[in-house]
Amino acid sequence: MQDIHFGAGPRRGRLPARQALGALWPLFTLALPAYAADSAVSQVLPAITVTGSRASRPATDPNIPSTTESVTRDQLQNRNIVNTEDALSYLPNLAVRKRYIGDQNSIIAVRGTSNTQSARGLVYVDGLLVSNLLGNSYSFPPRWSMAFPDDIDRVDVAYGPFSALYPGNSLGATVLITTHMPDAFEANVDTKAFSQHFDLFGVDRSFNGSETSASIGDKVGKLSYLIGANHLENTSQPLQFATLPLSSTPATSADVPVTGAKFYDNQTGARTAVLGVNGEGMVHTVQDQFKLKLQYDFTPFVQGGFTLGYWRDSYRDGDSTFLRDAAGNPVYQGKVDIGGYEYAIPASAMAPSSGEAENWLYGLSLKTHHATGWNGHAILSYYDVSHSVSRQADQGDGVGPGTVTLGDGTGWKTADLQATYTPATPRAGLGAHWLTFGYHFDTYATQNVTYDSLDWRVGDHDALDNAYAGHTRTQALYAQDAWRFLPGWKLVYGLRYEDWRAYGGSQTLGDVRLPYPEAGQRHVSPKASLSFDLTDDVTLRASIGRAYRFPTVGELFQGRITGTNLVNNNPNLQPEDDLSKELSVLWAHGNGLYRVSLFQDDVKNTIFSQTDTTVLPNVTSFQNIGLVRSRGVEVSYQGQDVVIKGLDLLANAAYTQSRILANAQNPATVGNYFYRVPLWRANLAATYHFNDRAALTGAVRYSGRQYNTLTNQDSNPNVFGGTSTYTVADAKFSYRLNRHVDLSLGVDNIFDQRYFVYHPYPGRTFYFEAKIRL
């Protein structure tokens, strides 16, 4: 039987439900004058501690002012986990845009944040920031590979920007990954093999991969260490296809007659010709990771730590054409005759690409851990992209010239100093305060240079094509207090002050360098969360928080060259200004935990790439959208020994409505649904433990209607180029052969549904895993 604790400490009194809810309402009315008609309502869940052999435990700090969902190591053992981001599967109102195993562009989507708004999420591994806040798109995912999947002890996800301890990038969610540290000698080997069969547009074949990790660790006196390595190799299903609109131009005798083209109705319902696999085709990726963690106990109350992480990735696109001429030769470009009509295929339509990168993470920490009184924590990190090169061919046959892009020297540095105070009697003490004070510093630097090359595969850097560079720096001071001011009541309130600067921005075209002036802003973000223990089993929490999400160096300075025209993304962007509110009820009943949350986010100056239709010619770049409002409800349940002993159940559902309320640069989008925020998300997962050695898990994931454009014109979403509604089923059987060996078989997408996030998601995928422990 598990013990379930709500809030912090015994209840000293109760109020009737109506009176309690009435007492919460003033928290929201305080914010209304400041935000006027643009205000929104937001609240956060009380902290929960759940102990038990299998149950998930939200973060145990009773002063967390956010709704928090957690996944433990035991739960992850019963799921198909290959990449670290897989640990987030089945969490309420959250999804990860993962297109294939080893995908470098896996982005979190949560509540009203879409899966291209990467700068609206924070991911930490043992306190070290691995979020790639150099940009804000699918190209800037968290560096998940800095944590081995088999090294994870637990994952805590805090929804919304309600804590003063984190910057405005927490607008979506904050993911805290805690990894394992040994207290005795251990050695582990984990190997996985996986295979999917995929068919679409005539591609009908299997794609295979494998992953192996090994680690060794021990605690020798005052020193603990863990050394690990991981190797992954995989080939993806086709991700991108070369297409052209259905032609009405009759072919001429000069056009090359070809066969092999496929046809379908695209996301807008228009008939479209499919010519082959292009761009990001069938990606073959090889990834190697290394990690060293050290901890040293200087005294019983002072501990230092060091982390070294290394990740190397190389990829190659296997592109192909469906078209063949009369002699059976492949055709990649030029004017062709398909069914009596002329199609002009650009040389780059099916051009291959490749690339490689090396990344380093360095971390230092020093902390005290007294049970009560004052404690201090200092942590420094440096993420360095020491080597980055991507190569792109100019033509489909992959022969001859192309471009080479270098990103060496890009990265970020962070420093955090924090002091906390815990009362001497933390579980009693009416009027007690839990205090946190801190200072944060970060700096981001980007440098991207593209050269023309006579041989795109191995050629030297020839003429400079274009380049961009820039820096941002943020300093912050924050304070937060958790105050138990009445029996059963707790107020967590805080303030965050941030000083943001952008500098050193420039774009270069040929011999011309265009510098941008410096920019800077200062903002204060207040937060408040009020919780009340309505009964011994029911806790209410209302939360409200202001957050400013500052522009990234990519949004400010990263541009593109079109012919001789330079299009910059926008060095004059304003920060996103969010007011989040949430109201939650949490109920412990029987062996389960129930949660219902109402939330609303009003984001002024939402930063998003769109087309400014008010100028001629139209300009597509990162711009500020006047106001986007997201509101919805989440319902979740977790329980163990449900109905029968050994059955653990997880179920959640969420409804989110995210709409554009103001957009001066594209007025036609006002009133439309925001980009890629599904109306519904739902998950159901059940694990039956036959005994201590065997378990079977079955799960279902559902995602509802969403739009792939701000204009909401994608009327046929369940095809390549659209964003699908889908229902996908997964399963895994795990068996402990003995105390040294675990075996498992798993399958994702059991019914082989073909579904899309513009690109196709994987087909039915089988897994085999063997773990060996010494």
**pLDDT score of 54 more than 90:** no
CB proximity list for 233: less than 8 A, separation 6 or greater: 209, 210, 211, 284, 285, 286, 287
Residue 679 phi/psi, 5-degree rounding, is -65, -35
> Domain total for the chain?
1
Q: Which of 654, 527, 623, 523 is CA-nearest to residue 579?
A: 527
Angle ∠(150,152,156) on CA atoms, nearest 5: 150
If pLDDT is split at 50, 70 and 90, which confidence band does 732 have?
very high
Q: Cis (ω within 30 of 0) for the bond into 617?
A: yes
Query: What is the rounded CA–CA span in Å between residue 68 and residue 73?
Result: 17
Q: What is the pLDDT of residues 474-501, one digit of tens each?
A: 999 999 999 998 988 999 999 999 999 9
Give the C-alpha distances (Å, rounded to integers) separating 156 from 68, 125, 176, 360: 7, 11, 5, 24
Query: What is the rounded CA–CA span in Å between residue 492 and residue 396?
Result: 59
**pLDDT score of 19 more than 80:** no
If pLDDT is split at 50, 70 and 90, which confidence band does 112 have?
very high
Q: Which of 209, 121, 201, 200 is CA-nearest to residue 159?
A: 121
Least trusted range by pLDDT, from 20-29, 486-495, 693-702: 20-29
Q: How many CA atoms lie within 13 A of 444 on its CB side?
A: 25
**pLDDT score of 47 more than 60:** no
Alpha helices in 297-393 (DSSP H): none
Q: Which of 505, 504, 506, 511 is CA-nearest to residue 465?
A: 511
Q: Do 148 and 126 touch, CB atoms closer than 8 A?
A: no
Query: What is the rounded CA–CA span in Å between residue 761 and residue 513?
Result: 41
Per-residue pLDDT, 20: 35
Q: Residue 443: count other Cβ atoms within 10 Å of its Cβ.
A: 15
Lookup: tokens for 759 = 């690109």
Q: Which of 180, 206, 209, 207 is CA-nearest to residue 192?
A: 209
**pLDDT score of 712 more than 60:** yes
Per-residue pLDDT, 427: 56
Q: Cα 293 to the chain's mean position, in Å? A: 24
User: What's the count of helices (H) and strands (E) in the chain, helices before strands?
Assistant: 4, 43
Higher pLDDT, 406 or 512: 406
The tokens 């604790």 sit on which residue? 5
Q: Do 138 and 105 touch, CB atoms closer than 8 A?
A: yes
Per-residue pLDDT, 561: 44
Q: Which of 179, 182, 206, 181 is CA-nearest to residue 194?
A: 206
Residue 85 bridge partners (DSSP):
none
Query: What is the rounded CA–CA span in Å between residue 498 and residue 474?
Result: 7
Query: What is the rounded CA–CA span in Å between residue 731 and residue 750?
Result: 8
Three-state DSSP class for residue 4: strand
What is the 8-class DSSP label of residue 112?
T
User: What is the model's pTM?
Assistant: 0.89
Q: How many CA atoms lie within 13 A of 479 on its CB side?
A: 1
Per-residue pLDDT, 15: 35
**pLDDT score of 202 more than 80:** yes
Q: Do 271 and 246 touch, CB atoms closer than 8 A?
A: yes
Residue 652 bridge partners (DSSP):
636, 683
**pLDDT score of 174 more than 60:** yes
Query: What is the rounded CA–CA span in Å between residue 439 and residue 418?
Result: 7
Element (H, E) at 557: helix 553-557
Query: What is the rounded CA–CA span in Å between residue 479 and residue 487?
Result: 24
Q: For the domain that residue 134 is a member of, what is the CATH number?
A: 2.40.170.20
Query: What is the rounded CA–CA span in Å between residue 224 and residue 667?
Result: 59
If pLDDT is split at 50, 70 and 90, which confidence band does 618 have?
confident
- Buried-exposed string 552-575: b where 16+ CB fall within 10 A, e elsewhere: bbbbbbbbebeeeebebbbbebeb
Per-residue pLDDT, 611: 85
Query: What is the rounded CA–CA span in Å between residue 280 and residue 236?
Result: 10
If pLDDT is split at 50, 70 and 90, which confidence band does 317 have?
confident
Per-residue pLDDT, 705: 96
Per-residue pLDDT, 514: 84
Per-residue pLDDT, 34: 34
Per-residue pLDDT, 398: 82
Query: What is the rounded CA–CA span in Å between residue 593 and residue 285?
Result: 41
Residue 196 belongs to what domain range? 3-773
Give the start-end residues of each E strand in 613-646: 619-639
The tokens 């969360």 sit on which residue? 529
Q: Do 233 and 207 touch, CB atoms closer than 8 A?
A: no
Least trusted range by pLDDT, from 101-115, 551-565, 660-674, 681-695: 551-565
If pLDDT is split at 50, 70 and 90, which confidence band does 94 have?
very high
The tokens 């004058």 sit on which residue? 33
Query: What is the rounded CA–CA span in Å between residue 306 and residue 540?
Result: 40
Q: What is the pLDDT of residues 737-774, one digit of tens each?
A: 999 999 999 999 999 999 999 999 999 999 999 999 98
Higher pLDDT, 572 or 109: 109
The number of residues in the chain equals 774
Query: What is the rounded CA–CA span in Å between residue 730 and residue 683?
Result: 11
Q: Do 62 and 8 touch, CB atoms closer than 8 A?
A: yes
Angle ∠(764,765,767) on CA atoms, nearest 5: 150
Percent of the chain with pLDDT over 90: 76
Q: Which of 47, 88, 85, 82 is CA-nearest to residue 683?
A: 88
Largest CA distance in the chain: 91
**pLDDT score of 243 more than 90:** yes
Pairing mode, if any, of strands 256-257 and 334-338?
Answer: parallel
**pLDDT score of 278 more than 90:** no
379: left (phi over 0), alpha (psi -120 to 50) or beta: beta
Query: What is the rounded CA–CA span in Å between residue 688 and residue 702?
Result: 21
Angle ∠(9,429,496) on CA atoms, nearest 5: 85
Q: Do 769 and 749 touch, CB atoms closer than 8 A?
A: no
CB proximity list for 691: less than 8 A, separation 6 or greater: none
**pLDDT score of 588 more than 80:** yes
Query: What is the rounded CA–CA span in Å between residue 15 and residue 59?
Result: 27
Q: What is the mean pLDDT of residues 149-155?
A: 92
Q: Do 7 and 45 touch, CB atoms closer than 8 A?
A: no
Q: What is the mean pLDDT of residues 516-530?
A: 94
Per-residue pLDDT, 429: 65
**pLDDT score of 694 more than 80:** yes
Per-residue pLDDT, 62: 59
Q: Rounded mean pLDDT of the chain?
A: 88
| Terminal-to-terminal C-alpha distance of the chain | 31
**pLDDT score of 332 more than 50:** yes
One-letter amino acid for residue 139 of the chain: S
If pLDDT is split at 50, 70 and 90, which confidence band does 354 have?
very high
Q: Which of 442, 433, 585 is CA-nearest to residue 494?
A: 433
The side-by-side arrangement of strands in the sheet containing 341-345 is: 256-257, 334-338, 341-345
**pLDDT score of 362 more than 90:** yes
Least trusted range by pLDDT, from 45-59, 284-298, 391-405: 45-59
Q: What is the pLDDT of residues 452-472, one digit of tens each?
A: 998 888 877 778 888 889 999
625: left (phi over 0), alpha (psi -120 to 50) or beta: beta
Q: Do 685 and 702 touch, CB atoms closer than 8 A?
A: no
CB proximity list for 115: less than 8 A, separation 6 or greater: 95, 96, 97, 107, 108, 109, 138, 676, 757
